Structure 1
């Protein structure tokens, strides 16, 4: 891997990590790669990123190894999830139909409450 390819790889890793609002610790937790190693990759201190770690990083960063390597275009804009949002989705998927309905009802109730507050705030301004 040339110096330019390594620099581009590192930049793509950093860009994806920041876009997903992941700290080094978040990425470390998702990949089992130490936080210090991840920091050394991004600072360029480590000059080689093993291919198996590129695959692991791509999965944790919701992209492909091909994108990280610069072989493919960036992933199409889709909904990027934070680690907390992913955790909620995983938990939601473990619920039975009744549990999911309860969660849906609760979310709808909270959103309706926020909407009412926003409308009340707009009325008091106008």
Structure 2
């Protein structure tokens, strides 16, 4: 890690500790290290091992990437979060579903003909999305004198 990476790491540890109203003693106990070791880390005079980095990430419930400054997203990626490829695949599938709904035939759901229940759910979802879009448009474009 470069000096600037070390600086980001120590700043994030300090900011997270302070934002959670933890003393150095409290945090040191949480990550199983001595107060003097944590003090050196926060002062920037001691580097952090990968196992210590993992302990800090667990203690603060953030990703190691956040601590290292590789992302500004504090949330840990969860196992059920969708990858960009999955999101793209879903978007393509949604387009195909809409084409099937519009044409009235050949509606497939992941390669299998859609059941009546699946078609009904899709139509409900589309209707709900359209209603939400309509309400948003009304909020956005209705002149103030006609608003409640």
Structure having the higher helix fraction is 1
* Worse overlay, 57-66 or 12-21: 57-66
- The equivalent of 2:4 in structure 1 is 4
Distance 1:3 1:55 in 2: 20
Q: How far does the alpha carbon of each residue in 1:76-124 deviate from its partner, in whole angstroms, 9 at most, with x for none?
A: 6xxxxxxxxxxxxxxxxxxxxxxxxxxxxxxxxxxxxxxxxxxxxxxxx
Larger Rg: 2
Q: Aligned with 1:73: secondary structure?
A: coil
Does 2:23 align with 1:20?
no
- The equivalent of 1:114 in structure 2 is none
Does 2:20 align with 1:36?
no
Over the aligned positions, Cα root-mean-square deviation in angstroms equals 1.1
Q: CA deviation at 1:63?
A: 1.2
Q: CA deviation at 1:74?
A: 3.5
**1:1-126 superposed matches below 5 A:** 1-46=1-46, 48-75=47-74
Q: Aligned with 1:8: secondary structure?
A: helix
TM-score normalised per structure 2 = 0.48
Q: Structure 2 unaligned runs (5+)?
A: 76-148
Moved over 3 A (4+): none
Distance 1:74 1:36 in 2: 29
Count of residue pairs the alignment pairs up: 75
Distance 1:68 1:61 in 2: 10
CA change 1:57–1:75 in 2 (3 A) is: same
- The equivalent of 2:93 in structure 1 is none
Specify which structure has the bigger relative contact order, considering alpha-carbon pairs within 8 angstroms and separated by 6 or more residues: 1
Q: CA deviation at 1:28?
A: 1.2
